[in-house]
Amino acid sequence: MRFKIWGGVLAIILAGCTSEIVPPTATLAEATSTPIVLRPTNTPTPTATVAATPSAVATPTIVKTPSPTATSTPNPSPTPTPQAILRQLTSDGCCVQPFFSPDSDTVLVIDKPSEKARLGVYGLDLTTFESPAETPPQLIYETVGFRSPDHTVVAVPDPDDDQLMRFNNEETGETWTVNTSGNWPIFSPDGQSILWNVIDRRGPYDERPTDIWVSKIDGSDARRLLTLYGGGANGWFPDSEHILLTARANQTSEDETMVILSLLDGSMFELARENRLRGGLISPGGTWVVYLTTFTGDAEKDGLWLVRFDGSERRKLSFYGPHYWLDDNHLIFIPTRNSPNEGLALWRLEVETGKTIRLTDPATIPISIEGGDWILSPDGKKVVYVSAVDQNLWLIILSEMNTN
């Protein structure tokens, strides 16, 4: 009997597992629209741990910038499908929420394989994998927590103080604590900094203030950047110097805004503004952001959108469905089916041209994904998903034509 681990613990490590990325060719500071200058706060920098209780801070006003004319990408159309390979990875209904090692060679899951086994992060080495029976998952990490992009540093709640996060560098053995008010850290792509959201628990969610904090990975140079309402930090841009934020324009506004905040000078640049704005997936080079708008009352506004980091181009995608960035110019996506009888397929979008190509054929690679639980490897050559048929992990090895 397999002991499955459900709920929040399975999601603990996911936010710390980011793909390996390269800096953009142009810096975000070169945005053409006039940014808003954010006045720095006077929060003292602690020498050991981050201050637990935020002090009052002025909330910046985000000024709406002109929006480019929206253009749609072409509808996906069938093309000759390069051959892909489908392999079963696990048996006995193992596991959920898989993710990859930074080198894409190992599929990782949080698991407790048996009553006597310990809870931990288990892995399947794809370079030596033969079959589920002959190659069961092996314990890779004993500690379950948020990990840095290279997986060397792991953060877990401090057992003695619920305001602290305890960090451990598993290569050097060094440990330290950072006072994040009990909130999980988001590691910067270079692994040198962390940010976290401190959300007020009182009142309606959309009106709650959220303080955005940032510090070095060891907790030094901690400072509160700003206060937002009904939102927070989405994540880092690949240069580790800019942060993507989503929040209401002000406490009473129904509009939500997506902005880029510069850690270099405190300026903010607005990317998008809409009544219901969600997501914000940054491309590996930082050139594009994908976001979703829903229930706006205008069908032309609802859907997935692409916006260039400097706001110079905005495009509505003609498909809707889960997606990952392959590289700075390509999205891997699964378009929503028109009927339950229609097979799922992986597609690739070339952002610059709008060209789409189908990567898998439902007739030869039958995909049935449980709860949208799938992930693309950092190198873009593999997909792992949880099967809705048998609840096991399955691997799709994409053709080299798909990733070039």
DSSP state of 218: T
* pLDDT for 102 beyond 80: yes
Alpha-carbon span 70 to 302, nearest angstrom: 12
DSSP state of 367: B
pLDDT in the model for residue 109:
96
Radius of gyration of the chain (CA): 22
> What pairs with residue 73 in β-bridges?
none
- Give the mean pLDDT of 229-242: 93
Q: In the structure, what pLDDT confidence band is assigned to residue 2 with cuts at 50, 70 and 90?
A: low
- Give the mean pLDDT of 218-223: 96
Q: In the structure, what pLDDT confidence band is assigned to residue 10 with cuts at 50, 70 and 90?
A: very low
* Closest by CA position to 154, among listed 122, 132, 135, 176: 176
- Given a contact cutoff of 8 angstroms between Cβ atoms, the answer to whether 128 and 138 are in contact is no
Q: In the structure, what pLDDT confidence band is assigned to residue 401 with cuts at 50, 70 and 90?
A: low
Instruction: Note the Cα 20 to chain centre separation in Å.
Output: 13
Q: Indicate the average pLDDT of the chain.
A: 81
Query: What totals of helices (H) and strands (E) does the chain contain, helices first?
Result: 1, 30
pLDDT in the model for residue 278:
83
Architecture of domain 23-39+62-402: 7 Propeller (2.130)
**Domain boundaries defined on the chain:** 23-39+62-402
Q: Hunting for tokens 């920098």 — which residue is that?
A: 45
* pLDDT for 256 beyond 50: yes
Q: Which tens digit of pLDDT belongs to each residue from 24-79?
A: 333 333 333 333 332 233 333 333 343 333 333 333 433 344 444 444 444 555 45
* Closest by CA position to 325, among listed 348, 359, 307, 300: 348
- Give the mean pLDDT of 221-240: 93
DSSP state of 221: T
